[in-house]
């Protein structure tokens, strides 16, 4: 599979499709109203952290999750479906 950057903008959101692991909707209400979040989880990537005790570099793994707010569940769900379609088209083109 090719990990070449594939930058796509849709509905005001710009993402690198090559780095996406999955899309999800947050199951939680925000601030007591119906605001929902579209969560974009990126692929796990290695980072090196200096251990303060041993002074040795240790390899850790990090998976970034970015949250985008939407005014209601229906709007977040619609954007989720659209982004999943864009992402699946990208993945199918990698074969």
What pLDDT, in 10s, does the model give residues 6-59? Answer: 999 998 889 999 999 999 998 766 566 666 889 999 998 889 999 999 999 999
DSSP character at residue 18 = G
Q: Tokens representing 93?
A: 């083109």
> What does the pLDDT read at residue 34?
63
Whole-prediction pTM value? 0.74
Asked whether residue 11 is domain-assigned, the answer is yes
Are 3 and 11 within 8 A, CB to CB?
Answer: no
Q: Where does 1-95 show beta strands of DSSP type E?
A: 7-10, 13-16, 20-25, 36-42, 45-50, 57-62, 65-70
Asked whether residue 45 is domain-assigned, the answer is yes
Q: What is the pLDDT of residues 81-93, one digit of tens each?
A: 999 999 999 999 8
Asked whether residue 2 is domain-assigned, the answer is no
| Number of compact structural domains in the chain | 1
> What does the pLDDT read at residue 79?
94
Q: Tokens representing 52?
A: 């303060």
> What does the pLDDT read at residue 29?
62
| Residue 50 neighbours by CB under 8 Å, 6+ apart | 56, 57, 58
């Amino acid at each position: 599979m090719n990990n070449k950057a594939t930058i796509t903008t849709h509905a005001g959101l710009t993402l690198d499709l090559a780095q996406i692991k999955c899309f999800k909707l947050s199951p939680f209400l925000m601030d007591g109203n119906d605001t929902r979040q579209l969560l974009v989880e990126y692929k796990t990537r290695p980072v090196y952290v200096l251990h303060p005790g041993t002074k040795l570099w240790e390899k850790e793994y990090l998976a970034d999750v970015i949250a985008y707010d939407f005014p209601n569940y229906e709007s977040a769900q619609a954007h989720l479906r659209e982004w999943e379609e864009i992402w699946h088209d990208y993945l199918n083109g990698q074969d």
